[in-house]
């Protein structure tokens, strides 16, 4: 029986090493690569085409939810298992909305990680038992698009519409429309509230 091929994505080398040891201690699993951020993860996943990606939510540059969206856009059969220090249901909701098949807390993984990888490989949703078992409700009237999340990341970084347009190779008018759509979708009236909401609900990366 072929092994389950796994990629580990985390910006801390010691954490990646610990995850690798946990996973490779099981004869059914094989770690085929490690990545430190979203861009590196996407390149690695395209090259190795793993079965499961163990993905840290708090990645530098772009968070795990946005990275998951980008991976699944090109390799939709890949299973994503999100790991996070955040127990708030909003983080779980964002991960699930992005296409992740599981969400575990990083502070006490032990053998949970191995079993979770096997479960998501079977197509089962896996949620850390320490999280509240409640219905996950999003404030947004609709899911935010990958592009909107990219614009939101830039807004939180304090960039103007012109700076965002240059960074994303879009027109200033297009960025203005995205900004307005974000506020409408999240029912928010100004940029300050938008920034606070994005940070509080794990929509962006702060590293």
CATH of the domain at 61: 3.40.50.2300
**Same domain as 98, residue 32:** yes
Residue found under tokens 């899911």: 143
Q: Has residue 205 been placed in a domain?
A: no
Q: Has residue 81 been placed in a domain?
A: yes
Domain around 79: 4-127
**Same domain as 152, residue 77:** no
**Same domain as 177, residue 94:** no
Contacts of 37 (CB under 8 A, 6+ apart): 9, 11, 59, 60, 61, 62
**Token pair recorded at residue 195:** 């920034």
Contacts of 28 (CB under 8 A, 6+ apart): 1, 3, 4, 118
Return per-residue pLDDT of the chain as tens, 207 residues: 789 999 999 998 888 988 898 899 899 999 999 999 999 999 999 999 999 999 999 888 889 999 999 999 999 999 999 999 888 778 888 898 899 999 998 875 665 889 999 999 998 888 887 775 443 444 444 578 888 889 999 999 899 999 999 999 999 989 988 888 888 888 788 888 888 888 877 788 775
**Same domain as 117, residue 150:** no
Q: How far apart are the first and last CA of the chain?
A: 40
Q: Has residue 188 been placed in a domain?
A: yes
Pick the last residue of a domain from 77, 92, 127.
Answer: 127
Q: Has residue 133 been placed in a domain?
A: no
pLDDT confidence of residue 60: 85
pLDDT confidence of residue 52: 97
pLDDT confidence of residue 138: 43
Q: How far is it, in rounded angstroms, from Cα 81 to Cα 113?
A: 9
Pick the last residue of a domain from 68, 96, 127.
Answer: 127
Pick the last residue of a domain from 127, 160, 189.
Answer: 127
Q: Has residue 163 been placed in a domain?
A: yes
Q: Has residue 137 been placed in a domain?
A: no
What is the CATH classification number for the domain harbouring 173? 1.10.10.10
**Same domain as 98, residue 16:** yes
pLDDT confidence of residue 109: 65
**Same domain as 107, residue 69:** yes
**Same domain as 164, residue 120:** no
> For residue 2, which phi and psi values (nearest 5 degrees)?
-65, 150
**Same domain as 123, residue 45:** yes
**Same domain as 70, residue 12:** yes
Q: Has residue 66 been placed in a domain?
A: yes
**Same domain as 154, residue 120:** no
The number of domains in the chain is 2
Q: Which residues pair with 6 in a beta bridge?
A: 31, 52
Assess contact for 130 and 98: CB atoms under 8 A: no
Q: Has residue 134 been placed in a domain?
A: no
**Same domain as 109, residue 192:** no
pTM: 0.67
Assess contact for 146 and 66: CB atoms under 8 A: yes
Nearest to 90 by CA among 155, 134, 149: 134
């Amino acid at each position: 029986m072929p092994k389950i091929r796994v990629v580990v994505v985390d910006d801390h080398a010691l954490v990646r090493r610990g995850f690798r040891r946990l996973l490779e201690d099981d004869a059914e699993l094989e770690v085929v690569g490690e990545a430190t951020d979203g861009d590196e993860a996407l390149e690695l996943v395209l090259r190795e085409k793993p079965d499961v990606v163990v993905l840290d939510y708090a990645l530098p540059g772009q968070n795990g939810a946005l990275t998951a969206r980008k991976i699944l856009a090109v390799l939709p059969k890949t299973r994503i298992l999100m790991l996070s220090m955040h127990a708030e249901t909003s983080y779980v909701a964002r991960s699930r909305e992005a296409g992740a098949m599981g969400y575990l807390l990083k502070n006490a993984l032990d053998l949970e990680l191995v079993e979770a990888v096997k479960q998501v490989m079977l197509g089962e949703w896996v949620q850390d038992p320490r999280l509240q078992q409640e219905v996950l409700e999003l404030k947004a009237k609709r899911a935010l698009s990958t592009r909107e999340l990219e614009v939101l990341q830039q807004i939180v970084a304090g960039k103007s519409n012109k700076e965002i347009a240059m960074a994303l190779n879009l027109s200033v008018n297009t960025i203005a429309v995205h900004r307005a759509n974000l506020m409408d979708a999240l029912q928010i009236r100004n940029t300050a509230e938008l920034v606070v909401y994005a940070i509080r609900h794990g929509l962006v990366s702060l590293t």
